[in-house]
Each structure stands twice: as structure tokens, then as C-alpha cells.
Amino acid sequence: MNARSSHLPRGHLAHIRANIVLYGALAANLGIAVAKFVAAGISGSSAMLTEGVHSLVDSGNQLLLLYGQHRAARPPDRAHPFGYGRELYFWAFVVAILIFAVGAGVSIYEGWVHIRAPEPLRDPTINYVVLGIAVALEGTSWAIAVREFNARRRGVGWWLSVRRSKDPAGFIVLFEDSAALIGLLIAGIGVWASHHYADPRLDGVASIAIGLVLAGVAMLLAREAKGLLIGESADPALIDTIWQALERRSQITTVNHVRTIHTAPDAVFVAISADFEDSLSMGAGETLIEAIEAELKAAIPTLTSIYIRPEKSEDAVIQTGAGPITRTSE
């Protein structure tokens, strides 16, 4: 009996909701960046200059994620038979690097420069006005990101939902906006403290603190993007659905393993090894495999590629060096 594989030729389609989050964040960050740079030029505030760089980097990140979604949507071809969906994960990793190298690096450098050679204190009114506007815009973008992220996590805890998410656009914007709001709070405290205590160096300290926040977010995003680039398995609930569909088939005596990997946020490749009844003819086996494939595709539309390999349990033990893989070890 020959193994059979099935591939549904379709490119990765960018989620409309994720695009709403990205476009909303892009519009907010571009406007905020201009306002912050103007305020920094008028007041000489290091924290405001840092916040301007922060918003500019965030704007570039949203553009890169949109570009990544566009590239990932290309259909499969001879060179990439499973499509280009994972290219989005590459651009997500680039975004994390930019946040760390540019956002955090410039913030910490500017803070250190202003501590060593502080700018004379000027009227901070423009800073407070811009910070207030920025909080309103960033807060709106953050609220949109939270709403869309909540709609996807379906009651799962926040951190676990981020770890399981296969679409980086949503949680990257959420993390960026959260860092932006924290940065605005720190910038506001820095501007106030530098004038209250008549010490412009405190503004530089606030800039360094913003840089450290960005560095922390960047390292967290880089870790998540790295996992997606290497290849992560599908959600445990999806894998369990596959197991149940296989175990309902009386012609299958043992399921050796069910292995999955995301080839895009909404595309999953699954490889199945199962021990079929010895009395099953080749024709009946092919019919059974086709029926299983049809059932799985109907139940799980994200299964774009299905590979089912009839394999005796003892052979699977020899090849893997272990017994049949259970659900909990997938």
C-alpha cells in the first residue's frame, strides 16, 4: 500500500482583522512621530526625542509586517511547494531586531548623551500637549489590538495565547502599543521630574528607561518569532481532533504518530503514521485514506497538506527508537 499525500494549492491570505490592527497602528504612529519630533525640537527634551524615534520605528515595523503579509500570500510554486507563508515569520523576526537595535539602541544612547551634556530646561507645555494626544491615539490603537486579540484567544490565558499564536502581526502590534503606552508614561514622568527638581539629567534617565522597556519587548518578540521560523506544531486541540478522527476508524489498529507544522498562520501540514489492519486490501486502504483526508479537511480547513503513511507499529518503533507517540507527547 503506497502512502498518499494531499496538498490544497492556496497561498496564505492575510487576516482582515490583523490588517485592521496594522493599518490603525500605522496611522497612529506616523502622526504621533511627527508631533513628538516637533515637541522635542521646541523643548529640547531627550525623552520626547526618544519617543519620536520609538514611534518612527513602530511605523516602519507595521510597514514591514504588511509587506511580509503580501509576500507570504504568494501561491505555491516549484521552488516552494508549500507556499511562502513562513516568510511572514522572517519579517516578524526583522521587526524584533529593529526594535532592539534602533528603538532601544537610540533611546539608550540619547539618554546617556543628555545625562552627560544635559539640554537647558525650556517650557514643557508642548511636551504635555503632545503626550496627551499620543496617549489618546496610542490608546485607541491599543484598544483595537486588544479587542482583536481577545477575539482570537477564546478564553485562553494571555501569555499562553501569545505562545500558541501562529500569526505574529496581532501580538506584535499589541506588544508595541503596550510598550508605547509605558514609554509615554515614563516620558511624562521624566519631563515633569526634570522641571520639578530642576535637573535636566532626569529627562535622560527617562530616555534610558524607555530604551530598556523596548529592549525587553524586542527580546520577547524575537523569541516568539524564532520559534515560528524554526517551525511550531499546531494547536493541541487541532491535533486532538485529528487523533479522534483516526481512532474512530476501525480499520486502523494503532496510530503511531501525528506530526504537524505551520507553513503559514492559517496553513498546517500534517504527517500521520498509522498501522492498518493486515486484512485490508490496497484498494480498500486507498479508499480509507481518501475518506480520512476528506473528513479532516472538512473538520479543519487549515489543513492544507495531509500525508498519511500506513506503517506497522513495530517498524515505527525501529525508526523512532520509541513506541507509538501518544497525544500528550505531540
Which structural domain, as residue segments, surrounds residue 280?
Answer: 234-329
Q: Is 298 part of a structural domain of the chain?
A: yes
Residues 238 and 224 in one domain: no
d(Cα 228, Cα 275) in Å, to the nearest integer?
31
Residue 41 covered by a domain: yes
Quick one: what percent of the chain has pLDDT higher than 70?
89
**Which one of 230, 245, 262 terminates a domain?**
230
Q: Identify the CATH number of the domain in which residue 318 sits.
A: 3.30.70.1350
Number of domains in the chain: 2
Q: Point out the least confidently predicted range of 193-207, 235-249, 304-318.
A: 304-318
Confidence of residue 65 (pLDDT cuts 50, 70, 90): confident
* Amino acid at residue number 24: G
Q: Is the dihedral of CA 302, 305, 309, 314 positive or negative?
A: negative
Kindly state whether residues 239 and 220 are assigned to the same domain. Answer: no
Spatial separation of the C-alpha atoms in residues 164 and 225, rounded to whole Å = 12
Taking alpha carbons only, the member of 75, 65, 80, 91 closest to residue 12 is 75
pTM of the model: 0.75
**178-192 pLDDT, tens per residue?**
988 999 899 899 989
- Give the residue-averaged pLDDT of 43-56: 82
Q: Which three cell numbers stand for residue 273?
A: 503514521
User: Does one domain contain both 74 and 58?
Assistant: yes
69 pLDDT exceeds 80? Answer: yes
Among residues 203, 230, 257, the one where a domain terminates is: 230
The pLDDT score that the predictor gives to residue 316 is: 65
Domain assignment present for 1? no
SS3 track for 29-64: HHHHHHHHHHHHHHHCCHHHHHHHHHHHHHHHHHHH
Query: What pairing do the DSSP bridges indicate for beta strands 267-276 and 303-310?
Result: parallel
Question: What is the domain-level CATH number for residue 184?
Answer: 1.20.1510.10
Is residue 11 a part of any domain in this protein? no
Q: Is residue 8 part of a domain?
A: no
Q: Cα angle vertex 225, ends 66, 300, to 5°?
A: 80
For residues 53 and 240, the model is more confident at 240
Closest by Cα among 35, 99, 37 to 65: 99
Task: For residue 270, report the phi and psi dihedrals to the nearest 5 degrees.
Answer: -125, 135
DSSP for 69-89?
HHHHTSPP-SS-TT-STTHHH
- Cell numbers at 131, concatenated: 503626550
Tell whether the model's pLDDT for residue 322 goes beyond 70: no
> Tell me, what DSSP letter sits at residue 100?
I
Q: Domain end: 204, 230, 256, which one?
A: 230
Identify whether 5 is part of a domain: no
Contact 152, 170 (CB under 8 A): yes
pLDDT digits (tens, 9 = 90+) for 233-282: 888 889 999 999 999 998 999 899 899 999 888 889 999 999 999 888 88
